[in-house]
């Protein structure tokens, strides 16, 4: 994967030049590709994910993509749901997540291949979006919990350990940000605000956060049991 930047008007795009370049090197990416309304107008929205920001599943030329607009939560969203303070394009949430995802992808860790990140500046603020390749047929761990066996749960724990060994602190590790593809492989998504760190207490904090998310989908005793099985996979 070779990352390159492309500017057009107020928008700057960081993209995978190996997959989004014509033969003459011109990028096959434009600001409108980060606009949900463009995909709706062209009839290429094939699905939508739940949650803040309402990620869209898109039919691109040769593969399916996921477009995730960056959205704020909590009280600050009442002021602005999609604007962030401008501190430079490389410090934007989209560029940071794109570069981090590309780094993990290069390490052969199971993250969806990043396609492009776009940032549009509006004076002292900006709005942004991220495109990644979709994993067709994948389902969130949260959906599979009622039927998840010990083997799957231990694979979840092992996968988390692989990311931790690479130094990834996933600040929002929950049962919706772990996807299971049709082959049973475990993938990690949504790396917004995540970072690389040295070994520390954050690793246990990630696991604790995951256990708290399990309690939203399972009875407390069952959530604890599932967390223990995941931990066995993590420690094994």
Residue spans of the domains in the chain: they are: 3-133, 139-235
Give the neighbor-by-neighbor strand order of the sheet with 139-140.
Answer: 139-140, 178-180, 186-188
CA distances from 186 to 77, 127, 155 (A): 32, 30, 7
Pick among 1.10.510.10, 3.20.20.150, 1.10.1270.20, 3.40.50.150: CATH of 139-235 = 1.10.510.10
Q: Single out the residue of 168, 94, 90, 102 nearest to residue 133, CA to CA.
A: 102
| Mean pLDDT split into 10-residue runs, the chain, 236 residues | 94 94 76 94 90 81 92 60 92 97 98 97 96 95 96 98 98 97 97 96 97 96 97 96
Round to whole Å and give the CA distance between 95 and 77. Answer: 21
Q: Check if the beta carbon of residue 70 is closer than 8 Å to that of residue 130.
A: yes
Round to whole Å and give the CA distance between 228 and 219. Answer: 14
How confident is the model at residue 73, as a pLDDT?
64
Round to whole Å and give the CA distance between 139 and 112. Answer: 13
Cα three-residue angle 66-62-3, rounded to 5 degrees: 65
pTM of the model: 0.93
Q: How far is CA 24 from the centre of its chain?
A: 31
Residues with active-site annotation: 172
Instruction: Record the tokens describing residue 233, joined without a space.
Output: 């996979």
């Amino acid at each position: 994967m070779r990352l390159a930047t492309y500017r057009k008007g107020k928008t700057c795009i960081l993209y995978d030049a190996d997959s989004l370049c014509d033969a003459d090197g011109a990028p096959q990416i434009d600001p409108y590709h980060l606009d949900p309304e463009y995909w709706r107008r062209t009839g290429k929205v094939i699905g939508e994910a739940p949650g803040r920001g309402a990620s869209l599943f898109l039919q691109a030329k040769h593969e399916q993509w996921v477009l995730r607009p960056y959205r704020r939560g909590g009280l600050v969203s009442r002021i602005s749901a999609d604007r962030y303070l401008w501190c430079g394009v490389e410090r934007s949430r989209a560029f940071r997540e794109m570069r981090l995802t590309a780094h993990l992808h290069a390490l052969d860790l199971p993250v969806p291949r990043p396609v492009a990140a776009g940032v549009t500046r509006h004076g002292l603020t900006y709005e942004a979006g991220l495109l990644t390749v979709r994993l067709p047929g994948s389902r969130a761990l949260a959906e599979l919990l009622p039927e998840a066996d010990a083997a799957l749960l231990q694979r979840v724990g092992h996968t988390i350990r692989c990311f931790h060994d690479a130094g990834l602190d996933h600040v929002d590790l929950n049962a919706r940000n772990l996807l299971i593809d049709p082959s049973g492989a475990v993938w990690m998504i949504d790396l917004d605000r995540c970072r690389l760190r040295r070994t520390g207490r954050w690793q246990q904090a990630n696991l604790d956060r995951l256990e708290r998310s399990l309690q939203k989908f399972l009875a407390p005793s069952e959530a604890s049991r599932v967390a223990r099985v995941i931990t066995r996979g993590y420690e094994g």
